[in-house]
Structure 1
Amino acid sequence: MRATIILRRTLLALLAFALVTAGIVVLGNTFRFDQRAVEIPFGDGRLSGVLALPRDREAVGVVLVVHGDAAVDATHDGLYAPWFEGAADAGYATLSWSKPGVGGSTGDWLSQTMADRAAEVGAALDWARGRPDVPTGRVVLWGASQAGWVLPKVVAARTDVDAVVAVSPAVNWLRQGRHHLLSGLADASPQERADAVARSDRVRALLERGAPHSEHAAADPDPMTPERWGFVSRNFRSDAVDDLRAAATRHVPVHLMLAEHDRNVDAAETERAYREAFGADLTVTRHDAAHSMARPLVEDSDAVGLAVAVLWPRALLAPTAVDAHRDFLTRR
């Protein structure tokens, strides 16, 4: 009888724990916006996207999301939800779409140049302006990392962008790559560091002379895929300085968000370039965060990151990041 009682209590405790956990997951994944699917014509195909709208008010404008590197879908597997919510709290809708070849979008993002990416953003903005159900009274571009080479091209080419939020944007492709490399070698031995730099220099030399992927694959023990090699070959000379200066002539407000623990981008170089270009049109906030604006602990531990993503995804980001995004939009 005693064993039966203990077993029953154990099962009840496990059930209670499961119910509490399920409640936390539901609560932690409930956000203050409504989201619907959209389809944006682009070239001969389409971009599959989402439009996130404030739940309790009419939106005064729209934020267009410009992704960083990699095969990113419209919601970044749900990781954009806190950014969508911050915009909604400021009275803005958010329009985001999967990169070409990702999700339901046609095409291949690895075939693009940064100019192609800027044209994609332009097509999405043209589509939004032609839709009565998309609030385009104010248009804000939000972009992260690789978007640093895309945002200024769009702003310089158009007169209908009202503001920009740049999150950990890159400035120079080759210097950014070297910064990323050296940041990852902080705990390496001198020989490991020298070997990694030498390998990087060999890759650079191949890129500079337009070597085919076959030559890269034969010379490197861990080569890029042919598709990635093509993407890098088309874009490794990217430098945003001239585009930043051209964009600055539009005098739109630019908010630059920098991470204190950025291993991907040299935040000091980025800040210098943006201050020199935009002057009084620029505001800057710095955050106790990694490159993606995630909390450093989340970035450094897969286990912690997974647990937070499942239970309370708002906590993935540095606590000041979404607040800065919301506050900048509120002032527009």
Structure 2
Amino acid sequence: MCPKPKSRPRRRGVRAAVWSLVSVLVVAAGLVGVVLWQNSYDMDEQRVSIRHGGHVLNGVLALPRDGRKQHGLVVYIHGDGPVDATHDGGYRPLWEANAKAGYASLSWDKPGVAGAPGDWLAQSMDDRAAEAAAAIAWARTRPDIDGDRIGLWGASQAGWVLPKVAAKTPVSFVIAVSPAINWLQQGRYNLLAELRSEGASAERIEAETAKSDRTRRLLRRHATFEEYVRAMGGDADGMTADRWGFISRNYTADATRDLRALRGIPVLLTLADHDLNVDTADTERVYRKVLDAGGALTVERYPDAAHSLVKRSLEQSDLKLTLMALFSPRSLFADGFLDSQRRFLGERPTRQGPVALRTTPATGTGGATLLAVPFAGAKART
């Protein structure tokens, strides 16, 4: 008689494999749930269209859920680069903080980004300011926006745009995050700061500085892109004709005089102590010199933050940055950054009286997962 097959051990093995698979699926489902919950925000977003200069700005309006019929508004001015309305989701933690202070947020795709008409590289800083002024005029026609409580938020390159907007249309406050003052000075600071952070040799620093000086001479004599490439020995080093045109239009930007348009307007200047893009000491000095007399300037520094106001330890690691963006996007930013902006907005006067700041955790419907470093501007090594 043949012995019966040993089926019990086999069944136990199958059962163990099934339970292992179930455990993995449960853990995976739990992680997905955490990601979805952490990337959901307590506000309502709607797509909007804003007409300006013969074309349409594709925007996003994020509204609080506090039951009020009217809200103040924070209008977002992007930094450098091809930025969409949400900055790849990077703005949403800030919009939620604004909503808790009773403020809506408005942003739009840069021209040529995410299917928007136009080309952001064809813009000057004045063009960008006119665009923002048109968005504010549009917002003032909406019954759910208090036209007397509209202010600006801008990062990095937006430092050259914010005061130009304020000169075109009334604004009730400005939040300036890591703004530069002078284009050429900022470019040189960025070049040297990054080279030193990389541990570059004195010879390399000298060579890169000489290359930057050649670029400046070409800009001053209005050289074409082809002349630039020839001057660089045929190596464009990532420069494109469109980017060269953008730099040529804007390299003389300097915010010093324009900042006078912000006198008497509450300004929150937010700076990072580990900023390799912008000389924050120079920025603070100029802002204080131009604006301090009016007593409306508040300066806040974050010792553990990089240019984007993301924690420096996270920005130095792509893996840490991605994991934090997935599982705790509000924790990307320097400690106190979001709360500070919420308090600043909460201190602005309202027609209904002071706004009670909401501190409940987010439970709203979702926004896109944040995977990009917020507000990180492209470099202009000039």
TM range, normalised to the smaller chain? over 0.9
What does the per-residue CA deviation read over 1:89-144, in whole Å, with 9 as the maximum and x for residues that have no partner? 10000011111111242211111111111111111011111222334340110000
Counterpart in the other structure of 1:79? 90
Counterpart in the other structure of 2:72? 61
CA distance in 1, matches of 2:221, 2:315: 36
1:25 aligns with 2:35: yes
Residue correspondence of structure 1 range 182-197 to structure 2 within 5 A: 182-186=192-196, 187-197=199-209
1:143 aligns with 2:154: yes
Residue correspondence of structure 1 range 109-124 to structure 2 within 5 A: 109-124=120-135
Counterpart in the other structure of 2:352? none
CA distance in 1, matches of 2:243, 2:22: 53
Structure ID, larger Rg: 2
The amino acid that maps onto 1:111 is A
What is the RMSD computed on CA atoms of the aligned residues?
1.3
In the TM superposition, what is the alpha-carbon distance from 1:60 to its structure 2 partner? 3.0
Counterpart in the other structure of 1:246? 261
1:275 aligns with 2:288: yes
The amino acid that maps onto 1:146 is Q
Residue correspondence of structure 1 range 259-270 to structure 2 within 5 A: 259-270=272-283
1:169 aligns with 2:185: no
Structure 1 alignment gaps of length 5 or more: none
CA distance in 1, matches of 2:179, 2:345: 19
* Conserved? CA contact 2:156–2:179, under 8 Å: yes
Residue correspondence of structure 1 range 115-134 to structure 2 within 5 A: 115-134=126-145
CA distance in 1, matches of 2:207, 2:276: 19
In the TM superposition, what is the alpha-carbon distance from 1:319 to its structure 2 partner? 2.4
In the TM superposition, what is the alpha-carbon distance from 1:84 to its structure 2 partner? 0.3
In the TM superposition, what is the alpha-carbon distance from 1:193 to its structure 2 partner? 1.4
CA distance in 2, matches of 1:139, 1:11: 54
1:298 aligns with 2:338: no
TM-score by length of 2: 0.84
CA distance in 2, matches of 1:223, 1:107: 22
* Conserved? CA contact 1:60–1:137, under 8 Å: no
Greater RCO (Cα-Cα under 8 Å, separation 6 or more): 2
Considering fraction of residues, name the structure with more helix: 1
CA distance in 2, matches of 1:95, 1:261: 29
Counterpart in the other structure of 1:205? 217
CA distance in 2, matches of 1:10, 1:135: 57
Runs of 4+ in 1 over 6 A off after TM superposition: none
In the TM superposition, what is the alpha-carbon distance from 1:223 to its structure 2 partner? 4.6
CA distance in 2, matches of 1:246, 1:31: 34
> Which of 74, 82, 101 is 1:90 aligned to?
101
> Which of 317, 339, 342 is 1:323 aligned to?
339
What does the per-residue CA deviation read over 1:201-244, in whole Å, with 9 as the maximum and x for residues that have no partner? 11111111111000112232215100000000000010000001
CA distance in 2, matches of 1:161, 1:137: 8
The amino acid that maps onto 2:182 is N
TM-score by length of 1: 0.96
Structure 2 alignment gaps of length 5 or more: 1-9, 349-382
The amino acid that maps onto 2:123 is Q
Counterpart in the other structure of 1:232? 247
Counterpart in the other structure of 1:307? 323
Counterpart in the other structure of 2:367? none
Counterpart in the other structure of 1:107? 118
